[in-house]
Amino acid sequence: TICDPELTVGMPPHVTAGTGLDALAHCLEAYCSPFFHPMAEGIAVEGMRLVKEYLPRAYRDGSDLEARAHMMSAAAMGATAFQKGLGAVHALSHPVGALYDTHHGLTNAVFIPYVLVHNRDAIEPKIERLAAYLGLPGRFDAFLEWALAMRSELAVPHTLAGLNIGPERFDQMSAMAPEDPTAGGNPVPITRDGARRLYETALAGRL
């Protein structure tokens, strides 16, 4: 790819937020995937640092070329890293996008904290190392709090209701999620019942 940050200057803030958080989701899920690919894992970690440092800047000022350039790097790094795998964020998000035509990155962003909590027992040591690299005080909870604060700063809805999605098609989506190609990369196996619980949790806003 040829990445020219000047081409992204005209993106409105909500698109900047959605695409930037999609890069975060790619890096985060690749990092948490149980498959072995240490090079992709390292790329994912640095990609998340770039998102942390530069996405709020790009959101606040779309003409900030330094922030735009680093976010283009983070997006490319996420696409490189996810050869290691993705997971439940994407497996849950794809059915929502298919049935409701929601923005993919924005939908991913809604699911991130719920999937983090769902996967906690399997990923806590890795998230602790990640939090340290990102300069976050504390451990797993510090990373979770940062993810929630980032979503709030970028005006991302906390629940599926914020995307105008209710429970009417949860049965259908819960059947689709475990069959999604990304489901196999989740560190905790995704079942139909588990997907249903995650959809219900994301609608209610329970963490």
pLDDT in tens, 149-187: 999 999 999 999 999 999 999 999 999 999 999 999 999
Rounded-to-integer distance, Cα 26 and Cα 115, Å: 13
Rounded-to-integer distance, Cα 25 and Cα 34, Å: 16
Q: For the chain, what is the mean pLDDT?
A: 97
| pLDDT at residue 1 is higher than 90 | no
pLDDT at residue 23 in the model: 98
Q: What is the pTM of this model?
A: 0.96
pLDDT at residue 164 in the model: 96
pLDDT at residue 2 in the model: 84
Rounded-to-integer distance, Cα 75 and Cα 201, Å: 28
The amino acid at residue 137 is P
